[in-house]
Amino acid sequence: MPLRPSPGPTYPVFKRCIPERVFYILPALMWLALALRHGSLTLPSAANPSLDAGGLWGESKSQGLDLFGATGQRFLPGFATVDCDDARDRAEDAARAMRAAELRFPVVAKPDRGYQGWGVRLLASQPELAEYMARQPHGARVLLQALIDMPGEAGIFYIRDPDQERGRIVSMAFVHPPHVIGDGTHSVAELVAADPILAANAAIYQERNPEAWNSIPEPDAFHMLTNARSARLGAVYRDALDQVTPELDAVIDRISREIPDFHFGRFDIRFRSLSELREGRAFCIVELNGAGAEMLHIWAGNGTLGNAWATLWRQYRRLFRIGAQMRRQGHQPVGLRGMIRLQRQQERLRRGYPPSS
């Protein structure tokens, strides 16, 4: 069972009141103001030169993992990638890749170019793998990753200025899966319907919980709706910056500095216990997100709209400043045309991904 969220609001009030597109109007204006100041709309794509477009949009998940040095490799689960070519036997290619990487079921399958949990599924058998591969759009790449059986999840945001020897963790948030808490009276379906955030994904949850959908959980019982954890699917976040210790900060800094020209991004991790995480051990890194990542604590239940916008403003200012420093070192940002191409490629693939689980 995942580590249970601490008591308190599940989602920030502004998330319930303001549509996502409206929320991002002001951050978009912030980005435009910084672009005018620095003379480039895509300058942040130069912040992490080793990642496609700096990880700003459409980056490859496996590319980031492949860049890890000796320290980081110790924290990575086994993984393999499979290219989806219509002329090949995708299921056999996937099985061969799993054997080469010594992966065993269950595995987590995810699009190599994806975001917000689109297409992420837990696969328990070869038939499930074959079905998943068959549903991938042509030209997609699939990342198969060993399932990490650790109850905790966190998003750790790291920044290092290019002219500084060391960087540091500037944000950490605990991530909990979409869930309901039983009251002994209402069914899972009714509890979902009563929450406007969860209700938007009711069809997904019902598909994942066919037997439990109409059952009534016991009072205070934690019922997980889906294993995929993203803001889009109703994940719950808790600000955990106060849990960052010098030991954890030092390990993340060492891992980050071994990644060539990496200065700005978020590590998505799973961990066994809070005490071990604070000691900087017994955790696994499942993803590395670059310049396009957000500090997840802005979505914590006690967060306010003003603090969320202020955090994004500070984040964008720092990102543009790092991009400017890297540009002075000779690293050119991806042009607007290149960013549009990456965005269209990612959206074309996303539309063909199978549902998350």
Residue 186 — pLDDT band, cuts 50, 70, 90?
very high
* Sequence-distant (≥ 6) Cβ neighbours of residue 306 within 8 angstroms: none
What stretch of H or E contains 323?
helix 305-328
Is residue 87 scored above 60 in pLDDT? Answer: yes
Output the pLDDT for position 352.
Answer: 85
Q: What is the mean pLDDT of the chain?
A: 93
Residue 3 — pLDDT band, cuts 50, 70, 90?
low
Is residue 112 scored above 90 in pLDDT? Answer: yes
* Sequence-distant (≥ 6) Cβ neighbours of residue 172 within 8 angstroms: 154, 155, 156, 157, 239, 240, 241, 243, 244, 297
Residue 2 — pLDDT band, cuts 50, 70, 90?
very low
Alpha-carbon distances of 231 from 71, 81, 115, 227, rounded to whole Å: 30, 25, 11, 13
Q: Domain ranges for the chain, please list them.
A: 1-77+152-177+227-347, 78-147, 179-226
Q: Which two tokens stand for residue 283?
A: 């955790």
Angle, to 10 degrees, between the axis of helix 305-328 and the axis of helix 25-38? 20
pLDDT digits (tens, 9 = 90+) for 195-254: 988 998 899 899 889 999 999 999 999 999 987 788 878 899 999 999 999 999 999 999
pLDDT digits (tens, 9 = 90+) for 250-299: 999 999 999 999 999 999 999 999 999 999 999 999 999 999 999 999 99
pLDDT, average across residues 2-15: 79
State pTM to two decimals: 0.93
Alpha-carbon distance 302 to 299, whole Å? 8
Alpha-carbon distance 182 to 327, whole Å? 53
Other residues' Cβ atoms within 10 Å of the Cβ of residue 145: 24
The answer to whether 50 and 256 have CB atoms below 8 angstroms apart is no
Of these ranges, 192-196, 287-291, 353-357, the one predicted with the greatest mean pLDDT is: 287-291
One-letter amino acid at 220 equals D
| 220 burial level (CB within 10 Å; 0-12, 13-18, 19+) | exposed
The answer to whether 334 and 53 have CB atoms below 8 angstroms apart is yes
Q: Which runs of consecutive H residues, i.e. helices, occur in 5-143?
A: 13-17, 20-23, 25-38, 61-66, 70-73, 90-100, 126-134
Is residue 88 scored above 90 in pLDDT? Answer: no
Residue 328 — pLDDT band, cuts 50, 70, 90?
very high
- What is the sign of the dihedral through the CA atoms of 60, 61, 66 and 67? positive
Output the pLDDT for position 178.
Answer: 92
Residue 334 — pLDDT band, cuts 50, 70, 90?
very high
> Diameter of the chain by CA atoms?
63
* Sequence-distant (≥ 6) Cβ neighbours of residue 270 within 8 angstroms: 148, 150, 152, 153, 283, 284, 286
Output the pLDDT for position 1.
Answer: 39
The answer to whether 49 and 331 have CB atoms below 8 angstroms apart is yes
Total count of residues recorded for the chain = 357
Choose among 19, 113, 100: nearest CA to 60: 113
Alpha-carbon distance 108 to 268, whole Å? 14
Output the pLDDT for position 181.
Answer: 93
The answer to whether 316 and 27 have CB atoms below 8 angstroms apart is yes
pLDDT digits (tens, 9 = 90+) for 32-66: 999 999 999 999 999 999 999 999 988 899 999 99
pLDDT, average across residues 157-182: 96
Is residue 130 scored above 50 in pLDDT? Answer: yes
Residue whose tokens read 């060993």? 146
Output the pLDDT for position 102.
Answer: 97
The DSSP call for residue 242 is G
* Sequence-distant (≥ 6) Cβ neighbours of residue 195 within 8 angstroms: 10, 180
- Options 3.40.1190.20, 3.40.640.10, 3.30.1490.20, 3.30.70.20; CATH of 78-147: 3.30.1490.20
Alpha-carbon distance 227 to 201, whole Å? 13
Alpha-carbon distance 186 to 200, whole Å? 18
